[in-house]
Structure 1
Amino acid sequence: MPLTILTVVGARPQFIKAAPVSHAIAALGDHREILVHTGQHFDASMSDVFFEELAIPKPAHNLEVNSLGHGAMTGRMLEKLEAVMLAEKPDLVLIYGDTNSTVAGALAAAKLHIPVAHVEAGLRSFNRRMPEEINRVMADHVSALLFCPTETAVTNLAREGLTKGVHQVGDVMYDVALHAVRQAEGRRSILDELGIAPKSYAVATIHRAENTDDPERFDRVAAWLSKAGEETPIVMPVHPRTRKLMEARGIVPANIRMIAPLGYLDMALLTHHAAGVFTDSGGLQKEAYFHRVPCVTLRDETEWVETIEAGWNRLWTEEAYKPRRDIPDYGTGEASGLIAKLLREAA
């Protein structure tokens, strides 16, 4: 039976994750997908470019909710998403990750008794001070279908009593990473634009609230990056919020070349050829592994524990990596097709 699927996205990582799944849904031929952009990331460099590069259909609805505190943003999204869902009458709502857009989509659908499917379910950092952790837990507990990227995620859900509708599918980000560099190589190289050679630099990003909302911690992270840059010069695409904070605090880190945010293809190529990655982004931690680039996570814990155990990632509070090995849990690059198949079976 054909499904009408309403997909809620709002932030850069969600655009990337949604791309292969949307393509897989379209390939089924008999389902209709309605894409809703909450507007959480609204700058062209953080939003429009991803739809263009990843060939994602233009959103049917753009709610233009942004630049608000967590409560106000989530509440406004909830209100507007409810109106869209009442008008579109979807059979299922599809959500991704752990942002305010994620939890707003989950709650709006649950209150209207519309089944929710959560891609990247079961991730836990076990730090309830992180807004992303609250969003993950709430989204999982109202979802009918939980698409887990790893066996650890499945175990986390079981500990919370969630076993029905749980599927380990692999990681949709791996699907994208498998062809992104090849696609990017056919374009003008970001390395040529920046005048840098492969393996001569590291990539850094900072955007998480735990780092940017605490001035003292942010200063420590900036100082750590400056020190790391003494060994390997750092290229840092700067999130708008991070740049604003650095300017307000008068921080000009040494050994760091700050550039504007990049589209997904340029960022994939920059990461692929880097000597290392320093980040507080969950997505970039995994992408570093996909490109087999060692990573340091600028947080005190990570939900992607496999990358730590496999020796490709370490926390900035640790001195050494564990022995390196591959991570079979992330799958073979076919997660999006499996998700589409499971959605069809749920019809």
Structure 2
Amino acid sequence: MNVFLVAGARPNFMKIAPLYRESLTREGVTCRIVHTGQHYDYEMSQTFFDDLQLPQPDYFLNAGSGSHAEQTARVMVTFEELCAKELPDLVIVVGDVNSTLACSIVAKKAGIRVAHVEAGLRSFDLSMPEEINRMVTDSIADLYFVTETSAVRNLFNEGKPPEQIFLVGHVMVDNLLHQMVQVHLNGAVAPELRELKQKAGEYVFMTLHRPSNVDDEETFRGIAFAVNEIAARIPIIFPVHPRTRKMMESFGIQLHKGVTCLPPLSFSESLYFWKDARVVMTDSGGLQEETTALGVPCVTIRENTERPITVEMGTNVLAGTDPDRILTRVFDAAEGRGKRGKVPPFWDGKAAERIWDVIGRKYGKVPDLSEACHELMECVGS
């Protein structure tokens, strides 16, 4: 079986890495990695691929930046040419970036099966481009690999056949647990980062990059006010996304001396800090899940989340962008008054195994997982 694993940006590679590693144990499966080049990435070095135990991508489509339409169109044109030439049996897409949408549409029109990993997640906020990508991809996929029960419910409610839906856990957790072992075994972070962590003692770890948060001056200033109030009481370690740095300079936003601004970190470097943070502040989707997996308190600077299990069961709380709410949520978490979460079902590092078990049965039902989905359907009142 010839399978394409599609990735458009650095987080996508973290999701396909467990799938690729597991594919090497499966007889008759050949996985080829397609990098659409959707995002230029500061960390796409050989070291990055080595950390994930991934080879360099087999194909690079060089889509580049641009508007959503321009980027999606470039991916579609180049991916169509590739599919016509290589004729894959299955295309696996992950997450919700433009490349996920583009490659799903191309594959489906070419009569190639499409599997969506992280299917069914919904924020119900159509102002988010990612929500459009998720909805359209799920409207045409053949297999839905699901991370949490809310996604099962969403897919049921959208009329997807239960036999095509599989609650398998989360490949990001697979990768997280893999990286935890690597960090423990190698401990390979720069001496200056070790010194910073030791000096900080107890600290908040923060990421901030979502356009709705940093592109609007009033919103960004409100968040920065809260950040400065927090930093006056507890140090904040803040790897700054290029987009965020650009908008800070444009708006003239100054941060408290208690905020240590770092250049973007690799996944292992970021993990080295946030796994021991008193609390994580973020507007990222992935960190909401990763903190829940490791039991680290998380305050999400968003009004909604497409990953509700992190709030319902995990360590995550939504603070929105109101400065007072952010302050309350962060100080509650930092001072031990926050929630204590649990790890969701199947977030055990074996999601990739379950996915390949399903694929290996040639798209048939897998009794244990299908049974779980039917039980879930009754539980969520589909």
Q: Which aligned runs of 4 or more in structure 1 are off by greater than 6 angstroms? A: none
* 1:238 and 2:240 correspond: yes
Q: How far 1:330 sits from its partner (Å)?
A: 4.2
**1:199: how far off?**
5.3
Q: Aligned partners of 1:198 and 1:119: how far apart in 2?
A: 37
Structure 1 residue 140: Cα displacement: 0.8
Question: Where do residues 257-276 of structure 1 align in structure 2 (5 Å cutoff)?
Answer: 257-276=260-279
Q: Secondary structure at the match of 1:258?
A: strand
Q: 3-state SS of the aligned residue for 1:27?
A: coil
Task: Name 2:30's counterpart in structure 1.
Answer: 32
Question: When the two structures are superposed, what TM-score results if normalisation uses the length of structure 2?
Answer: 0.85
Per-residue deviation at 1:144?
Answer: 0.1
Q: Is 2:159 aligned against 1:161?
A: yes
Q: Structure 1 pair 343/105, CA: closer, same or farther in 2 (3 Å)?
A: same
CA distance in 2: counterparts of 1:98 and 1:89, whole angstroms: 24
How many Å separate the matches in 2 of 1:193 and 1:40? 35
Match in the other structure for 2:174: 175
Aligned 8 A contact 2:248 2:254 in 1: yes
1:13 alignment partner, SS class: helix
Structure 1: gaps of 5 or more residues: none
> How far did residue 212 of structure 1 move?
3.0
Aligned counterparts of 1:125 and 1:47: Cα–Cα separation in 2: 32
Counterpart contact for 1:16–1:50, Cα < 8 Å: no
Name the counterpart of 2:378: none
1:138 corresponds in structure 2 to: 136
Q: Does 1:202 align with 2:184?
A: no
Paired position in structure 2 for 1:221: 223
1:285 alignment partner, one of 271, 281, 288: 288
Q: 1:148 to 1:237 in 2, by over 3 A?
A: same
Tell me whether 1:340 sits opposite 2:356 in the alignment: yes
What TM-score, normalized by structure 1, do the two folds share? 0.93
Structure exhibiting the larger radius of gyration computed from Cα positions = 2
Structure 1 residue aligned with 2:347: 331
User: Which of the numbers 286, 297, 318 marks the counterpart of 1:294?
Assistant: 297
> Match of 2:102?
104
SS at match of 1:299: coil
Structure 2: which amino acid aligns with 1:263?
Answer: S
The answer to whether the 8 A contact 1:238-1:261 is kept is yes
Alpha carbons of 1:47 and 1:73: their partners in 2 closer, same or farther (altered >3 Å)? Answer: farther
Q: Name the SS for the 2:274 alignment partner.
A: helix
Deviation sequence 1:51-99 (CA, Å, 0-9, x none) = 2210112111111222211111111111111111111100010000011
**Equivalent position of 1:12 in the other structure:** 10
Q: 1:46 to 1:279 in 2, by over 3 A?
A: farther
In the TM superposition, what is the alpha-carbon distance from 1:155 to its structure 2 partner?
Answer: 0.5
RMSD of aligned residue pairs (Cα, Å): 1.9
Q: 51, 64, 68: which one pairs with 1:70?
A: 68
User: SS of 2:93's equivalent?
Assistant: strand
Q: SS state of the match for residue 28, structure 1?
A: coil
Distance in 1 between residues matched to 2:160 and 2:221, nearest whole Å: 40
Aligned pair count reads 345
Q: Give how far 1:181 is off.
A: 2.1
Matched AA of 1:41 = H
How is 1:36-115 mapped onto 2 (pairs within 5 angstroms)? Answer: 36-45=34-43, 49-115=47-113
Shift of 1:335: 0.5
Counterpart-to-counterpart distance in 2, 1:5 and 1:59:
13
Q: Is the 8 A contact 1:174 1:330 kept in 2?
A: no
Distance of aligned partners of 1:42 and 1:158 in 2 relative to their CA distance in 1, 3 Å threshold:
same
Post-superposition offset of 1:272:
0.8
The amino acid of 2:263's aligned partner reads A
In 2, the alpha carbon distance for the partners of 1:40 and 1:242 equals 19
Q: Which of 100, 117, 120 in structure 1 is aligned with 2:118? A: 120
User: Does structure 1 conserve the Cα–Cα contact (< 8 Å) formed by 2:97 and 2:130?
Assistant: yes
